[in-house]
Amino acid sequence: GLDHIFITHLHTDHFIGLFGLLETMSLNDRERELVIHSPNSAFLKHLFDVFGYDALNYDLKVKEVKDDYEVKFDNFKVVAFETKHIVPSFGYAIIENERRGKFDRYKAERILGIPPGPLYAKLARGESIEWKGKIITPEMVLGEPRRGRKVVYTGDTRPCKRTIEISKNADLLIHDSAFSEDLKDWAIESGHSTAKEAAEIAKEARVRTLVLTHISARYSKDSSVLLNEAREIFSDVLIAEDLMSFEVKYPE
């Protein structure tokens, strides 16, 4: 279920739907605590007080987000990073824990003499085994740990170094790309990025795939200009659509 909500910034188009969601959860007899992570948390708490959300069926906590703010879960963590918008704004990186190294069958079979079978599966899962009176640990047959997947979402932002830093080698970067290059002046004034600028960030950060998001309504009928401008810089580019799903494959 939904237990954490991460807000990038407090422009109404990015959080106004929150209030109806909170009330619906209460009407559906939610009992578990809900934590909202947001910049300007004091303002958000004030709104909740005004709307009487202290009477919800569940505990509602609001936590202040700052650069490098981190929330750890079982298999991954969410790290906030400060972006560059016209109000305080943060993106979020979802960083998966390291995975165990690859199973070295040659070492297991030829060097340690362990026959193929169920014992291989235990070692590959990270379990120690006993073989011919000796304890064989996973470290003896597994390679170096492999990094997990990383997904970065910028929210509304101008291009900035902090995005490049946290997006290094990301598997997926979802970046503000509100305008085409001919409207760059307006992008600067409104605190957004062009598709070309997003592609330049992706290229410098060496990400695998770039998804352009926060597309201006002026491109609702034809967003090809954004795609074309981005692909002149970076080849693996998609444009986000409502309800889009995307498989993030493990790095090698």
pLDDT value at position 35? 98
Paired tokens of 124: 């590959």
Instruction: Please pick, among 13, 54, 74, 185, the residue that the annotation labels catalytic.
Output: 13
pLDDT value at position 76? 98
Judge residue 170's burial from the number of C-beta atoms within 10 Å of its C-beta, 0-12 exposed, 13-18 middle, 19 or more buried.
Answer: buried
- Assess whether 13 carries a catalytic annotation: yes
C-alpha closest to that of 152 among 137, 141, 163, 136 = 163
- State how far the Cα of 62 lies from the Cα of 35, in Å rounded to an integer: 6
Judge residue 31's burial from the number of C-beta atoms within 10 Å of its C-beta, 0-12 exposed, 13-18 middle, 19 or more buried.
Answer: exposed
pLDDT value at position 54? 85
Q: Identify the segments of the chain with pLDDT beneath 50.
A: none
pLDDT value at position 251? 83
pLDDT value at position 36? 98
pLDDT value at position 5? 98
pTM of the model: 0.89
pLDDT value at position 11? 96
What are the backbone dihedrals phi and psi of residue 207, each rounded to the nearest 5 degrees, phi first? -80, 165
pLDDT value at position 39? 97
